[in-house]
């Protein structure tokens, strides 16, 4: 069953899809976000979630990990195959493994249960802001696109095309990260600098592997169809370097 709640200011804030098999959590999250001006749709499982995504404009998916049938991790992969909508995972476990698995599946952020409403709201705002800044910033680059090592990155369409002509799916976080690398090509960038440039969620935990997982996922996608070897090199003790030369182009978007 699809549940939708809205407010008078909802169109100004965005449409959030909450996927959780616990009706109490769906209701509490929906009521709280609705009071903050968001339109909220609830879904109890992956089947309903995918149906909503096919028929509604969704700005953010809040996806529980522990769902009946297919897990939230599997469903995250399904969403990534059809959409680049930002995804925030909910997990009841605090171990790093869940965070890494979620990011590997294409999630943009994660929240650990139990969570405070204020933390959830802050995360929602941050993910939506990052997504909108990326889209708006890309649209403001005078229809620019860039080429490197046979690849083409269209900054307006947010599309990455491989040397063989295949469109490569990128999550919001991966796109932000690639743009950061392109804008600072052939410079050594520390993890901290990449977090700042790519607007990755900051963490007080020095062992948080969020940025490393994002880099690993992006590197695998680039290296799978690279012409000139590894494009993102690890500089031991310093950070990472994006090695190809960059050529500015015009976007194909009319």
Q: In sequence order, what DSSP letters do the residues of 80-122 get, joined into one string?
A: HHH----EEEEES--SHHHHHHHHHHT-SEEEESS--HHHHHH
- Per-residue confidence (pLDDT) for residue 48, from 0 to 100: 95
Strand, helix or coil for residue 158 = coil
Q: How many CB atoms lie under 10 A from the CB of residue 219?
A: 18
- Per-residue confidence (pLDDT) for residue 142, from 0 to 100: 40
- Per-residue confidence (pLDDT) for residue 9, from 0 to 100: 41
- Per-residue confidence (pLDDT) for residue 34, from 0 to 100: 93
Cα 39 off chain centre by = 20
**pTM value surpassing 0.75:** no
Mark 136-157 as b/e (b = at least 16 C-beta within 10 Å): eebeeeebebbbbbebbbbbbb
- Per-residue confidence (pLDDT) for residue 167, from 0 to 100: 92
Positions in the chain whose pLDDT score sits under 50: 6-11, 136-143, 201-207, 251-254
- Per-residue confidence (pLDDT) for residue 250, from 0 to 100: 57
- Per-residue confidence (pLDDT) for residue 247, from 0 to 100: 86
- Per-residue confidence (pLDDT) for residue 4, from 0 to 100: 63
- Per-residue confidence (pLDDT) for residue 88, from 0 to 100: 92
- Per-residue confidence (pLDDT) for residue 202, from 0 to 100: 44
- Per-residue confidence (pLDDT) for residue 65, from 0 to 100: 92
- Per-residue confidence (pLDDT) for residue 200, from 0 to 100: 54
* H or E element at residue 145: strand 144-148
């Amino acid at each position: 069953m699809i549940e939708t709640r809205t407010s008078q200011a909802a169109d100004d804030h965005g449409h959030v899809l909450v996927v959780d098999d616990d009706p109490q959590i769906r209701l509490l999250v929906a009521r709280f976000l609705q009071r903050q001006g968001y339109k909220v749709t609830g879904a109890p499982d992956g089947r309903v979630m995918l149906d909503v995504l096919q028929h509604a404009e969704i700005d953010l998916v809040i996806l529980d990990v522990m769902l009946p049938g297919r897990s939230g991790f599997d469903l995250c992969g399904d969403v990534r195959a059809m959409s680049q909508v930002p995804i925030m995972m909910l997990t009841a476990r605090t171990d790093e493994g869940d965070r890494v698995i979620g990011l590997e599946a294409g999630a943009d952020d994660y929240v650990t249960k139990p969570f405070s409403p204020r933390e959830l709201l802050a995360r929602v705002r941050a993910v939506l802001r990052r997504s909108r800044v990326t889209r708006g910033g890309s649209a403001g680059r005078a229809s620019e696109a860039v080429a490197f090592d046979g690849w083409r990155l269209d900054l307006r369409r947010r599309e990455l095309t491989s040397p063989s002509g295949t469109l490569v799916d990128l999550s919001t976080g991966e796109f932000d990260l690639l743009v950061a690398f392109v804008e600072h090509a052939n410079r050594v960038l520390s993890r901290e600098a990449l977090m700042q440039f790519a607007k990755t969620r900051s963490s007080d935990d020095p062992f948080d592997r969020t940025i490393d997982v994002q880099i690993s996922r992006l590197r695998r996608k680039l290296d799978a169809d690279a012409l000139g070897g590894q494009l993102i090199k690890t500089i031991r003790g310093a950070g990472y370097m994006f090695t190809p030369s960059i050529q500015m182009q015009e976007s194909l978007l009319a």
